[in-house]
Amino acid sequence: MESGIKHEDIVEATISAIQRAETELPDDVVACLENAEQRESNEIARSHLKAILKNTGIARRHSVPICQDTGIIILFVEIGRKISPLPDIEQALIEGVRKATSAVPLRPNAVHPLTRINSADNTGDGLPDIKYYFNDSEELRITAVPKGAGSENMSILKMLNPTEGHSIDRLVLETIRDAGGKPCPPVILGIGVGGSFDKAALLAKSALLEQVNDMDEKEHALLKKVNSLGVGPMGTGGDTTALAVHIRTAHCHTASLPLAINIQCWANRHATAVVGGDGKWNII
Amino acid sequence: MEYHLKTPLSIEDIESLRIGDVVYISGNVFTGRDEAHTRILETPLDNMPVDLEGAAIYHCGPLMQEKQSGIWVPVAAGPTTSARMSAMTPQLLEKHNVRMLIGKGGMDNVADSMKGKCVYLAYTGGCAALAVNSITKVCDVHWLDLGMPEAVWVLEMDEFGPLIVGIDTEGEDLFWNIREKVNENLEKALR
């Protein structure tokens, strides 16, 4: 059976996923922020959380970006093995980002690393940053993740000695202390342990896509320690430094212990377009 | 305490502000971030396109939409991470009588250079749609060759806030005080 997924379907689905991600904060994140605002004991902290919730409401109602830093666009793409023939997905995704830049609109953020010349359409060498995965369906899933620089700049990657596993908690707390208000707390922490230099970073980044409250005991315990620091929303003190901690692990070389801590600001933006075998798509 | 101030600012306007106070600002505000700071420092006073005497500089790279040639509408205009401008700020304050910096997240090692001269105010990071509500007009843009985020935008603002005083003219730094407490809490958390 011939696949009905056309180039234009992918372009349009990409634009819609980016539009949704940029303007509507996922419900689980909003609920988590509302809870935090109820529990927060620090007055300045509460005023920050109130402003955040107000801002999120305005962005959703008027369909405008939550933050002026509309990020660089990261796309997690799952390709169904049963899609046949497979259209040129990559060119369609890039076109989607280019068109979303004027349609949403997005701030043009992509620059050459050394000349700093702005490409003006959020594309460039290696941008959008596309990560491909496969599944057994006949669907194409495009998850748009706009990543802002404030939180990304505070993230770290360290190659620990294999015997230093006990120091992971300390490194996480020191990273949060050093980041202070810069990454726009309350943050969400994606932590990648193991794998390789680059694999640890990808584990950490993909951990940010988990349901915010879906944490195990270990993650809850680390979250409690992070929140005991008192950095607070925007670094002006308070009980709410982080909303969640998500840890992902992978086997690694016996001689190494890679650790990546990817910091995500409160605006944990992401949305997924599911393109069916018939080319029709919807946003989940 | 809560203050409602208007630009351009005099030293008297800002000297009674103390860390933790809340400020709402009205009048013209200039955006300026990394590349604009570099260019301000390179540009002779006679060639400056804006007068920074008594100015409020907003660490912000707004998202603007050009409705027709030269007519800009703000879409999103929240603060950027101020610490990136820390190293250039003492030189900026030597050269120009800027009275107020607005941004987010605090600044590193600038409190001394701000004593008796300038205050740093923090807005809630990420609140870009909310900030747009306070912009009554995009008056002008300079140095657009630096790109939309890095250009200097002249924004007319009405009651922009709440802004939290982060560094005052006595050199007190709210973010530094919090960091000291965080250091103590960190050791307790690991015990």
The reply to whether residue B189 touches residue A225, judged by beta carbons under 8 angstroms, is yes
> Does A53 touch chain B if contact means CB atoms closer than 8 Å?
no
Same domain flag for A179 and A241: yes
ipTM of the complex: 0.94
Q: Residue A262 carries which DSSP code?
A: E
Do both A216 and A104 map to the same domain?
no
- Residue A175, pLDDT > 60, answer yes
Residues A191 and A276 in one domain: no
Catalytic residues of B: 37
pLDDT-above-70 percentage for chain A: 99
**Residue range A110-163, pLDDT digits in tens:** 999 999 999 999 999 999 999 999 999 999 999 999 999 999 999 999 999 999
Do B149 and A265 lie within an 8 Å CB cutoff?
no
Residue A103 lies in a domain: yes
Give the CA distances from residue B130 to residues A58, B107, B142, in Å, rounded to whole numbers and listed in that order: 7, 23, 24
pLDDT of res. A84: 85
Neighbours of B59 (CB within 10 A): 26
Range of the domain at A220: 150-264
Chain-wide mean pLDDT for chain A? 97
Residue A242, in any domain of the structure:
yes
* Average pLDDT score over residue span A22-40: 98
Give the percent of chain B with pLDDT over 90: 99
Q: Which of A227, A244, A254, A139 is nearest to A190 (CA)?
A: A244
Domain presence at residue A53 = no
Domain assignment present for A1: no
- Same domain, residue pair A113 and A18: yes
Is residue A241 domain-shared with residue A274, that is, in the same domain? no
Q: Which residues of A touch B182 (CB under 8 A)?
A: 177, 180, 229-231
- Give start and end residues of each alpha helix (H) in chain A: 7-23, 27-39, 43-62, 89-103, 149-152, 168-179, 197-207, 217-227
Residue whose C-alpha is closest to residue A106's, from A229, A1, A240, A15: A15
Residues of A in contact with B128 (CB under 8 A): 55, 59, 65-69
Which positions in chain A touch B183 (Cβ < 8 Å)? Answer: 177
Mean pLDDT of chain B: 97
What are the tokens at B80? 């950027």
Question: Which pLDDT belongs to residue A275?
Answer: 97
pLDDT of residue A137: 95
Residues A127 and A154 in one domain: no
Residue A86: its pLDDT value, please? 87
Q: Has residue A38 got a pLDDT over 80?
A: yes
Q: Could you tell me if B128 and A23 are in contact, meaning their C-beta atoms sit under 8 angstroms apart?
A: no
pTM for the model stands at: 0.95
Q: Which of B76, B179, B185 is the closest to A68 by Cβ? A: B76
Q: Which of residues 194-213 of A touch B (CB under 8 A)?
A: none
Which of A 136-195 lie inside 8 A of B, CB atoms? 149-150, 153, 169-170, 173-174, 177, 180-184
Chain B CB within 8 Å of residue A30 CB: no
Do residue A79 and residue A213 come from a single domain?
no
Cβ of A118 within 8 Å of Cβ of B182? The answer is no
Do A210 and A166 share a domain, yes or no?
A: yes
Structural contact between residues A243 and A212, judged by C-beta atoms closer than 8 angstroms: yes
| Beta carbons within 10 angstroms of residue A240's beta carbon | 27
Evaluate whether residue A34 is within a structural domain: no
**Would you call B76 and A107 a contact, using CB atoms and an 8 Å cutoff?**
yes
> Average pLDDT of B118-138?
97
Nearest CB among B80, B129, B189 relative to A64 is that of B129
User: Does the distance separating the beta carbons of A153 and B178 come in below 8 Å?
Assistant: no
A15 in the same domain as A126: yes
**Minimum Cα–Cα distance from A167: chain B residue:** B190
Q: CB-CB: which of B60, B76, B80 is closest to A65?
A: B76
Q: What is residue A105's DSSP assignment?
A: T
Strands A140-147 and A72-80: antiparallel
Domain assignment of residue A276, yes or no: yes
Check: CB of residue B102 under 8 Å from CB of residue B123: yes
Q: Which domains does chain B have, with CATH numbers?
A: 2-190 (3.20.130.10)
pLDDT computed for residue A85 by the predictor: 87
Taking residues A192-206, report their average pLDDT.
98
Please give, rounded to a whole number of angstroms, the shortest distance from the CA of B114 to a CA of chain A.
19
Nearest residue on chain A to B35, judged by CA atoms? A116
Q: Tally the domains of chain A.
A: 2
Is the residue at A188 inside a domain? yes
Interchain CB contact of B162 with A (< 8 Å): yes
Distance, in Å, from the CA atom of A268 to the CA atom of A142, rounded to the nearest integer, reads: 17
Predicted local confidence at residue B175, as pLDDT: 97
Pair A189, A228 in one domain: yes
A3, pLDDT greater than 80: no
Residue A37 forms part of a structural domain? no
Residues A138 and A230 occupy one common structural domain: no
- Condensed to tens digits (0 to 9), the pLDDT of residues B52-86 reads 999 999 999 999 999 999 999 999 999 999 999 99
Residues B7-33: b if buried by 16+ CB within 10 A, e if exposed: bbbeeebbeebebbbbbbbbbbbbbbb
**DSSP letter (8 states) at residue B164:** E
Q: How would DSSP label each residue in A139-188?
A: -EEEEEEEE-HHHHTT-EEEEE-GGGGGGHHHHHHHHHHHHTTTT-SSEE
> Which residues, in sequence order, are bridge partners of residue B84?
none
Sort out which chain B residues have CB atoms less than 8 A from A54's CB and list them. 127, 130
Interchain pair A180, B175: CB under 8 A:
yes
- What band does A1 get if pLDDT is binned at 50, 70 and 90? very low
Both A131 and A154 in a single domain?
A: no
Q: What part of A 222-281 touches B (C-beta under 8 Å)?
A: 225, 228-237, 265-267
A179 close to A154: Cβ distance less than 8 angstroms:
yes
**B188 contacts on A by Cβ (under 8 Å):** 228
